[in-house]
Amino acid sequence: MNERLLTIAQGALDRALALDPEAEAILEALSGKRVAVHLVGAVSMHLVVEFSAARILLEQAVGQVDDKHASTDAQYFAAARPRREADVSISGSVSALLLLARGANELPSTMQVKVHGDIALLQQMRDAVARLRPDFEEPLARL
């Protein structure tokens, strides 16, 4: 199930980036950077987000560790052995991570997010993604 969701999300992300003429310039500064994301709650998934000048690649972290045996996200991702270690890791519910991605500086007390690694890079990623402006009207105008 998670693989299917990831495939759908990757396709939607690729199409949205293709609609932003500035995407390549915005993403260039993050090229080669990786963030490990652990979604907790109703949707539980470990993935790695890798930036390139032309794309934001989503991939599922693969490993022999389950949530019960990894006390921290850093331990999970170390055990999962992604192709290359992430520059920063973040863990939280989908709703908490979406709030942060949309610019929230504080979360309600019921939501928790854990971050390990380069927090400044995480902020740089958030700022870059916020600057993306896909032109969804252009393909609709062709209908």
> pLDDT (tens digit, 9 = 90+) per residue, 71-126?
455 544 444 444 678 999 999 998 898 888 877 878 888 888 999 999 999 999 98
Phi-psi region of 115 (alpha: psi -120 to 50; beta: other; left: phi over 0): beta
Nearest to 111 by CA among 96, 101, 99: 96
Residue 131, C-beta contacts closer than 8 angstroms, at least 6 positions apart: 22, 26
The answer to whether the beta carbons of residues 73 and 89 sit under 8 Å apart is yes
DSSP annotation of 108 reads -
pLDDT of residue 27: 92
Predicted TM-score (pTM) of the model is 0.75
Tokens of residue 119, six digits: 């927090």
The answer to whether the beta carbons of residues 49 and 58 sit under 8 Å apart is yes
The answer to whether the beta carbons of residues 51 and 33 sit under 8 Å apart is yes
- Sheet containing 56-60: which strands, arranged edge to edge? 56-60, 45-51, 34-40, 88-93, 113-117
Please give the residue that has the higher pLDDT: either 57 or 71: 57
Nearest to 116 by CA among 80, 64, 75: 75
User: What is the C-alpha to C-alpha distance for residues 102 and 53, in angstroms, rounded to an integer?
Assistant: 22
Residue tagged 């932003």 (tokens): 20
The answer to whether the beta carbons of residues 125 and 35 sit under 8 Å apart is yes
Candidate from 16-25, 31-40, 103-112 with smallest mean pLDDT: 103-112
